[in-house]
Amino acid sequence: MDPRGMNLWEEEDNGYSPIAEYFRDKVVLLTGATGFIGKIYVEKLIRCGASELILIIREKRGVPPAERMTRIFDSVPVMKSFQRNFNNCRDRVKVVRGDMSEDGLGLDPADVEYIRQRVQITLHVAADVRFDETLFKAIQMNVKGTWEMLNLCASGCPRLEMFVYVSTAYANCLQGTVYEQFYEPPMDPMVLLNLVNKMDAVEQDHFEALTQMILGPWPNTYTYAKALAESLVKRFYERIPVMIIRPPIVVATFNEPVQGWVDNLYGMNGAIVGIGCGVLRVIQTGPDDMKNDVMPADFVVNGTLAAIKYTVDRNALEAPSTDPDRVAIYHVTSSVDNPLTNARFRSMVETIGGDHAPLNSLWIGTCINLQSWLLVRLLTIVFHVIPGIFIDAGLKYYGKKTSLMKIYRKVARFTGFINYFATHEFIFVNDKMHRVLKTMTPGDREKFHCDIRTVTWEDVFNVYVPGLKLYMRHEGPETWIASRERFYRLKKIGLGLFYVMLAMVAYWILPSLLAEYVPAVYD
């Protein structure tokens, strides 16, 4: 049977889903398909029965775009799940060579015409998510790429129903409390784009020297560029139907297509693995009741697709508006509905992380969380620098390769990147997303699970932490008993050393204190 036009739920009697029905036979243009969340969009759209996915992919390290996608289909766990049902699902995917940083996206004219005549939904997911990226490259990828995608879709796509820009909830992080609306950009994005497009190598160096002055209060080039890109989307709302999705910190999949899948160590992923390996021992955070905004990757993808269907239906019923505040912006977030506090996060990482500790961790997975910058610096020397120097010295003495201080330099860099977000609370109000959730049928809620109010964080972390161990540490269930035993053995050793130190303190210091103060009491 030809899988085109079919979705992978057709043989299951689990409730009619208007969302799945909407995406059946749709032609979707997708960028960022080789990224973490992009892969999940590809899988989900194929499973919904989309007739064709047009993927704009760049060549990377000499590997052609089509070959990159083939490797993903062959090796990524989320892709294997649906290929077991339909071996020729790859026939629904058309890969075109393109690059977000090039003029006209670097697309061949024939591919441009093909896209214009066929595309119905555009999902612009591609982004450079590195917090330490140069400002020039961040503008090229995240701002210019968005500008080029908007121009492509506004230049004659008669079948286009929606242009979706997947931004980040932190694009407006200077606000503290963020609403589902546009905010003033840090500057006119076109001024910066025109400037960047004319730069030679020497001018780029001068430009980078001015990065901190240009960023001002913005914590990094990523959030700065995302804020600029959102303002570009606003400029096109009268020309094409547009909407924005703002996800927060995105972690492993909760339920689909496979539980706990993740493929990177950005942000919270890196922090949990670092703590679990006994490498990250000290970190600066906010107070215990500070709320963090976290969403499983499949909830973000499902929320996006649900919001697209809702917005297309709304646009069909309403007259076109000239008010930019009517542009659909959705927060697929958790800080209002199911906030994760620092205290709860720390407790779950220690308990669940202990049961799923890495097999070759340096020490037990505990981390000191402090608000004081000075104390963090002092304890970093005690728990990171001094052990690193001594262990590397021992390795060097025995003729082995030293590596711990190199790791700790990376840890210092990593904590520097996440410090702003670890010490500031953000509330992302999601009233518009609540309206989407209210319209979902029982079949929608089952097939497009995205309501974070229906799960507990213990449920999420019991999937998330083992997923990090399996997919990032490559330690399968067969290693879990041994690693758990090793963790608790190290914990006993640590407690033993602590009590020995207490005994030594009591032995050497207590007698002198008693000799000095007890007679004074009786005198």
- 51 to 24, 48, 76, 105, 149: CA distances (angstroms): 7, 9, 22, 24, 21
Average the pLDDT over 333-340 and give the result: 95
The reply to whether the predicted model has a pTM over 0.85 is yes
Helix 145-154 and helix 109-118: axis angle, to 10°? 60
Pick from 118-132, 306-320, 334-348: least confident: 306-320
Per-residue model confidence (pLDDT) at position 180: 96
Q: What is the dihedral of CA 148, 154, 157, 162, to 10 degrees?
A: 90
Q: Highest mean pLDDT: which of 146-150, 320-324, 372-376, 519-523?
A: 146-150
Per-residue model confidence (pLDDT) at position 498: 66
Per-residue model confidence (pLDDT) at position 5: 45
CA atoms within 13 A on the CB side of 131: 18
Average the pLDDT over 310-319 and give the result: 87
The mean predicted confidence, pLDDT, of the chain is: 87
Average the pLDDT over 460-469 and give the result: 93
Q: Are 136 and 162 in contact (CB under 8 A)?
A: no
14 vs 258: which has the higher pLDDT: 258
Residue boundaries of the structural domains of the chain = 18-260+292-337+425-455, 342-424+474-522
Per-residue model confidence (pLDDT) at position 16: 87
Per-residue model confidence (pLDDT) at position 510: 67
Residue 75 binned pLDDT confidence (cut-offs 50, 70, 90): confident
Per-residue model confidence (pLDDT) at position 521: 46
Average the pLDDT over 492-521 and give the result: 68
Grouping H, G, I as helix, E, B as strand and the rest as coil, residue 523 is coil
Per-residue model confidence (pLDDT) at position 7: 53
Average the pLDDT over 496-511 and give the result: 72
* CA atoms of 393 and 407, how far apart (whole Å): 15
126 vs 512: which has the higher pLDDT: 126
* CA atoms of 42 and 118, how far apart (whole Å): 18
Pick from 41-45, 187-191, 225-229, 503-507: least confident: 503-507
CB atoms within 10 A of CB 505: 10
Residue 425 binned pLDDT confidence (cut-offs 50, 70, 90): very high
Is pLDDT at 244 greater than 60 in this prediction? yes
Q: What is the 3-state secondary structure (H, E, C) of 274-327?
A: HHHCCCCCEEECCCCCCEECEEEHHHHHHHHHHHHHHHHHHHHHCCCCCCHHHC
Per-residue model confidence (pLDDT) at position 4: 40
Pick from 129-133, 242-246, 463-467: least confident: 129-133
Domain 18-260+292-337+425-455 sits in which CATH superfamily? NAD(P)-binding Rossmann-like Domain (3.40.50.720)
